[in-house]
Amino acid sequence: MENWSLDTLAIRMGYERTHEQENSEAIFPTSSFVYRSAQEAAQRFSGEAPGNVYSRFTNPTVRTFENKLAVLEGGEACVATASGMSAILACCMGLLKAGDHLLSSSSIFGTTKVLFTKYLANFGIEVSFVAQTDQQAWSAAIQPNTKMLFLETPSNPLTEVADIGFLAGLAKQHQALLVVDNCFCTPILQRPIALGADIVIHSATKFLDGQGRCLGGAVVGSHEAVGEAVRGVIRTAGPSMSPFNAWVFLKGLETLSLRMKAHSAAAQSLAEWLSEHPAVEQVFYPGLTSHPQHELAMRQQSGGGGLLSFRVKGDQAAAWSVIDATQFLSITANLGDVKTSITHPATTTHCRVEPAQRIATGITDNLVRISVGLEDLEDIKADLSRGLDALLAK
């Protein structure tokens, strides 16, 4: 197994067949487990003996998913959660305490921002935000009590790519943890732990699933931080992944590599096509609009991912008209699906961010986000052309 590539690991690693000798992984939809004696139960609950205890924190199907994702991300441990947001919550609850400072990129998913500002602040965690790609701002915003640096890269929805290596160095210098939400790239395109990050977060709902079926999340990192601290939160607070969802994500991992390469190639072509369209003001896709070395390196190595966004020439009505003119693209607030989705971030994914802050971070009313799926690219372009061409006729 040591020499297997990520493609083989994603399909083959980490599963011991039951006595039925099944080829596809079994699902264990059980809430609890039965012991041969009271003593065995006590040993399992105290951790003295290994094995399943209760599906809130130990389930064989969920464990298979966790073990596989840990290896793919290069972490020692993985804890699966009920959603991407509960992965972020468990990570913060397990690794921060009142009085600590969390330094976050300002280019994060709107709901993550609400979690940090509205809820973590209530528990005495200090939060501040810096521009994703401004290295001087990250350095200047470090405080004596900074315990965690947090970002999504590429960011949602402007696909800003941060230099993980630089931020990892900064975090280490100040004994803080670097947490990277890797849900846009997945380990197929980017492995933050190999670049120096301490923790990787996933919304498994996105590309890990790949077909928009289930909610789930994951935290990957060291035994101490994730295997102990974050798992302790999940065991106690209970935002756990269900066995059925874990099974769906296991199936998703089997095709992840193929899908990510196809999503990336399609998104890159679509970004280039959009940037030539006269009704489009600006396109955001890694390496397309700016060329810092780490951004180009990421794209050349593996592709820039399946997500892009663009500003139409006009206002919110113009953006909505492009969205509404599509016939098969899914108007939805999700991403990472084989079905292309189209989203108006200002009024959906980032609607709870205070307007001035939203606009300051580039989520303007004329911005449209696309998660490029695996339909024929010419069909996707034709669906988008309808609304874009109509804008020119006005």
Ligand X SMILES: N[C@@H](CCOC(=O)CCC(=O)O)C(=O)O
Which C-beta is closer to ligand X: that of 109 or that of 129? 109
CB of 350 to ligand X, least distance (A): 8
As a whole number of angstroms, the distance between CA 224 and CA 51 comes to: 19
Phi, psi (deg, nearest 5) at residue 36:
-75, -15
- Per CB under 6 A, 333 contacts ligand X: yes
- Per CB under 6 A, 213 contacts ligand X: no
- Per CB under 6 A, 109 contacts ligand X: yes
**Cβ count within 10 A of residue 293:** 8
Which C-beta is closer to ligand X: that of 25 or that of 181? 181
Cis amide leading into 154 (omega within 30)? yes
Which C-beta is closer to ligand X: that of 333 or that of 377? 333
- Per CB under 6 A, 335 contacts ligand X: yes
Structural Rg of the chain based on CA atoms: 21
**Cβ count within 10 A of residue 183:** 26
Among 334, 340, 361, 366, binds ligand X (CB under 6 A): 334
Binding piece for ligand X, criterion CB under 6 A, among 19-27, 125-133, 345-353, 358-366: 345-353
Binding piece for ligand X, criterion CB under 6 A, among 53-61, 63-71, 160-168, 346-354: 346-354
Which C-beta is closer to ligand X: that of 164 or that of 335? 335
Neighbouring-strand partners of residue 66? none
Residues in the chain: 394
Which C-beta is closer to ligand X: that of 205 or that of 242? 205
∠ CA 259-262-267, nearest 5°, is 120
**Helix locations, the chain, DSSP H:** 6-12, 38-46, 60-73, 84-95, 110-114, 135-141, 164-173, 186-189, 231-237, 243-275, 293-302, 316-324, 355-360, 377-393
Binding piece for ligand X, criterion CB under 6 A, among 8-16, 169-177, 267-275, 328-336: 328-336
- Per CB under 6 A, 347 contacts ligand X: no
- Per CB under 6 A, 111 contacts ligand X: yes
- Per CB under 6 A, 239 contacts ligand X: no
As a whole number of angstroms, the distance between CA 321 and CA 102 comes to: 39
For the record, the structure tokens of 11 come out as 């399909």
Among 159, 349, 361, 366, binds ligand X (CB under 6 A): 349
For the record, the structure tokens of 178 come out as 């670097």
Binding piece for ligand X, criterion CB under 6 A, among 70-78, 237-245, 296-304, 331-339: 331-339
Helix axis angle for 377-393 and 243-275, nearest 10°, is: 50
Which C-beta is closer to ligand X: that of 222 or that of 332? 332
Helix axis angle for 293-302 and 243-275, nearest 10°, is: 110
As a whole number of angstroms, the distance between CA 219 and CA 75 comes to: 10
- Per CB under 6 A, 156 contacts ligand X: yes
- Per CB under 6 A, 153 contacts ligand X: no
* Stretch 67-106: interaction string toward ligand X, x if CB under 6 A: ----------------------------------------
| Binding residues for ligand X, total number by CB under 6 A | 10
Binding piece for ligand X, criterion CB under 6 A, among 10-18, 60-68, 347-355, 377-385: 347-355
Q: Provide the binding-site residues for ligand X, judged by CB under 6 A.
A: 109, 111, 156, 203, 333-335, 348-349, 352
